């Protein structure tokens, strides 16, 4: 419906357990009309930073994400990129990433998100933010976070569409990462009452959405009515 | 020499990869006259806290440390105790400890130290403090740290000897955990220029030892000369 109306559309995800191609394939299977070019994701954003600053990463990421870094020089690393590595978060791999960082005069740690945890069918899992904090503490450094709610991440999504923030609306279920991040970037933001949404979000001390909607379909209908 | 002089002696360690018995055996092998009762260590200190507050721990510790908790009820856990678990710091074990904490109304995390890292023959390793920070962030809570430099830890060593802090001297190689911790407890503290000591410690922004000594033997000789 959004696409048929002529509005521009970009999908912003913090997914780092798969390439955009893998992510898109999953959504296509659910019936979404979506291509990889319409997805703004942390790994490609990190690749841009790595190229701009001539950084050669040591990767601590999920196996399925590695192809996103195919064109990046990874020899003789001078930074660490950490994503939601899941089963790759082993004691040995964490020590190895730590040794790369502590061996640098000024450790450079780039984190593909700062989520605390998430839920899978077999239970809650620690997210990349927890492991980021472990490395930050051990190396006495601060990570550069790529992905929502980083301002630069939303700006790169806007640049993809060629739209200024005042003319864009973010729709998301995460009060801090989706709504708060987009608003700090100058966009309006709707929170859907599905997914990660919790009733207590409506009393959040810092973030207030421009409006609530019951679900994504309702958000789309309301937006189209106002055209 | 200290013992022969009639002075009281207590060994304060942050070792959490072995029981006191295991630790003492190692030192006896090096020629030290030492028994488990003369050792103040984080695990027994944690056991006292667990008993006092009727806490039943989920343990994330080194296999060799588990016997220290033999007498503690560990059924239906209502807190997590984390030590330097080394190879036990697996993705699965960290998620499990996290799930125990996040399932509590007010997560109780007791950490046997807050070291950032240490060196072993095969390289640098992340210490318990890094994993403590990961769980703190994921659960939005703050750990209670047992062991040096916690004031209560030094106080329990003093209680073992029956000596007030003004009459005790700490000798250690760690400017923050040994020297700073003991001084904040009202003791005097010497830093040895061996082990963890680094020349830059002498410019530490917050901690200044009462004196420096070249090694443990020199510290003992100086103390005995002043009797």
By the 8 A CB rule, do B194 and B218 touch? no
**Tokens describing residue A171:** 């729709």
Distance CA A130, CA A169 (A): 30
DSSP SS3 for A172:
strand
Block residue for tokens 């007030």: B164
A residues 78-117 closer than 8 Å to B (CB): 86-87, 89-91, 94-95, 98-99, 102, 116-117
Answer yes or no: do A138 and B127 touch at CB < 8 A.
yes
Distance CA B112, CA B57 (A): 13
B82-to-A207, B16, B101, B103, B156 alpha-carbon distances in Å: 34, 10, 12, 17, 20
Answer yes or no: do A91 and B94 touch at CB < 8 A.
no
Neighbouring-strand partners of residue B120? B123
Using CB atoms, pick whichever of A102, A116, A129 lies closest to residue B124: A102
Distance CA A221, CA A194 (A): 16
Q: Provide the whole-model pTM.
A: 0.88
In this prediction, residue B29 carries a pLDDT of: 96
- Report the number of secondary-structure helices (H) and strands (E) in chain B: 8, 11
Answer yes or no: do A135 and B140 touch at CB < 8 A.
no
Other C-beta atoms closer than 10 Å to the C-beta of B193 total 15
By the 8 A CB rule, do B85 and B62 touch? yes
In this prediction, residue B122 carries a pLDDT of: 87
Using CB atoms, pick whichever of A125, A129, A137 lies closest to residue B116: A137
Closest among B173, B169, B174 to B187, alpha carbons compared:
B169
DSSP SS3 for B105:
coil
ipTM: 0.87
Tally A–B CB contacts below 8 A: 75
Residues of chain A with Cβ-Cβ distance to B140 below 8 Å are: 116
| pLDDT class of B196 with cuts at 50, 70, 90 | confident
The CA angle A11-A12-A13, to the nearest 5 degrees, is 115
Per-chain mean pLDDT for chain B:
95
Per-chain mean pLDDT for chain A:
95
| pLDDT class of B227 with cuts at 50, 70, 90 | confident
Other C-beta atoms closer than 10 Å to the C-beta of B206 total 7
Average pLDDT over residues B147-166: 94
- Dihedral sign for Cα B160, B163, B165, B171, please: negative
Answer yes or no: do B126 and A98 touch at CB < 8 A.
yes
Encode pLDDT of B104-156 as tens digits: 999 999 999 999 998 888 889 999 999 999 999 999 999 999 999 999 899 98
């Amino acid at each position: 419906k959004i696409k048929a109306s002529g509005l521009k559309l970009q999908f912003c995800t913090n997914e780092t357990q798969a390439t955009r191609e893998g992510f898109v394939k999953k959504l296509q299977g659910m019936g979404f009309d979506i291509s990889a070019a319409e997805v703004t994701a942390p790994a490609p954003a990190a690749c841009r930073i790595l190229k701009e600053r001539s950084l050669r990463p040591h990767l601590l990421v999920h196996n399925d994400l590695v192809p996103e870094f195919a064109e990046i020089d990874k020899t003789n690393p001078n930074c660490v990129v950490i994503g939601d590595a899941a089963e790759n978060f082993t004691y040995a791999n964490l020590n190895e990433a730590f040794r790369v960082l502590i061996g640098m005069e000024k450790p450079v740690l780039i984190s593909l998100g700062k989520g605390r945890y998430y839920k899978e069918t077999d239970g809650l899992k620690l997210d990349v933010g927890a492991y980021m904090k472990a490395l930050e503490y051990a190396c006495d450094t601060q990570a550069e976070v790529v992905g929502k709610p980083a301002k630069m991440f939303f700006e790169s999504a806007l640049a993809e569409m060629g739209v200024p923030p005042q003319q864009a609306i973010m729709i998301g279920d995460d009060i801090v990462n989706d709504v708060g991040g987009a608003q700090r970037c100058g966009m309006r933001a709707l929170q859907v009452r599905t997914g990660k949404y919790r009733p207590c979000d409506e009393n959040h001390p810092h973030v207030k959405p421009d409006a609530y909607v019951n679900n994504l379909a309702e958000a789309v209908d309301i937006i189209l009515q106002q055209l």
